[in-house]
Structures are given as C-alpha cells and as structure tokens.
Structure 1
Amino acid sequence: MSELSNIAKGMTVVGADGAKIGVVAAVVDQRIQLEANDVGDHAGQSHFIPGGLVADVEGDTVRLSATGANAVLLDENEDGTMAD
C-alpha cells in the first residue's frame, strides 16, 4: 500500500493487461477514487478501486495487479458497497 502515497490526481489507472480503467480523482481511505463518468447508468457517480490492487506507479500511470475486466468487477461505491 506504500504505492498509494505516490498516486496523484489526474493519473491514468490501467489494469495489468494495459486496459484503461479511469483517471484518479483522489486517494481516499486507502482506495483510489476515479473521476466520475459522464455517460451511462453511472453518470455523475464516482467509483473506488481498492488500494490493495495497486501493483506499481510508473510516471503518470497507476498499474493494477488485476486485469481491466477484473478490476471493474471489484470497484466500489463511496460507502464501500460493490458497484453494480
């Protein structure tokens, strides 16, 4: 989790396979808050990625240990419940 201190707003979050997950809005309570999406069923909602999924921070990119498809299955709402 020490990688979380190296994460800043505006960094790109990618899965282990390079698939883009989103853009960092903030690091909150050991989780990465992604910028809210403006389209679809979740428009205007922020989602959070557990900090334990961070594998590395390389320049302006946060690389997760999970693939993009798996990471989005693990995203959470602000209250910690699983996002649907």
Structure 2
Amino acid sequence: MQNITEHMEVIGADGVHIGTVDRVEGNRIKLTKKDSGEGSHKGHHHFIDKGLVADVEGNKVRLSAKAAVAVTMEEEK
C-alpha cells in the first residue's frame, strides 16, 4: 500500500469528498474532526478501514466504495 499521510484528501469511488486524513492508526485511516459532519457526529474523529482504499493518486486517497457507502462504514471512537 502506498504511503497515506496527513492532510491527504479521502474521496469515494464516485469522486465525492469524504474527509481529510489526520493520521493512520493500524489498519484504519483517522479523519480530521473538521470532516466529522453535523449533529451527533460533529466533533468526533471518524475512521475508515484501509481495506477500502483502492488507490493513492497524488494527494488523494481513493476508496473502492462510493462516498455514501464508505461513510456508513466509518467508526467513531
């Protein structure tokens, strides 16, 4: 797997912005809090399993799932 580093943009297979990488923790990508959404999700870090990563293109991490699907797979800590 290519290096995934902080501040990279995470996009779904459909090209939709999902978040920005805070850091990688084990097999998960931790997204910055500013991409946490609204309501009960606001202010929480979200995680995406590295198994969903299809490719790293420049400064973008492209997932194998569309944004709407990937977001449902996020985990809160």
- Find out whether 1:66 has 2:68 as its counterpart: no
SS for the counterpart of 2:69 is helix
CA shift in 2, pair 1:41/1:16, >3 Å: same
Using the alignment, how far apart are the partners of 1:39 and 1:24 within structure 2? 18
Kindly state the Cα deviation for residue 29 of structure 1 after the two structures are TM-superposed.
Answer: 1.5
Is structure 2 residue 30 aligned with structure 1 residue 27?
A: no
In structure 2, what residue type is equivalent to 1:17? D
Secondary structure of the corresponding residue to residue 56 of structure 1:
strand
Q: Which SS does the other structure have where 2:68 is aligned?
A: helix
- TM-score for the superposition, normalised by structure 1: 0.83
* Contiguous gaps of at least 5 residues in structure 2: none
Matches within 5 A, 1:3-82: 3=2, 6-36=3-33, 37=36, 39-78=38-77
Kindly state the Cα deviation for residue 41 of structure 1 after the two structures are TM-superposed. Answer: 2.1
Alpha-carbon shift at residue 40 of structure 1 (Å)? 2.8
Task: State the one-letter code of the partner of 1:48.
Answer: F
When normalised by structure 2's length, the TM-score is 0.90
**Residues 33/70 of structure 1: CA separation in 2 closer, same or farther (3 Å cut):** same
* Runs (5+) with no aligned partner, structure 1: 79-84
Higher strand share: 2
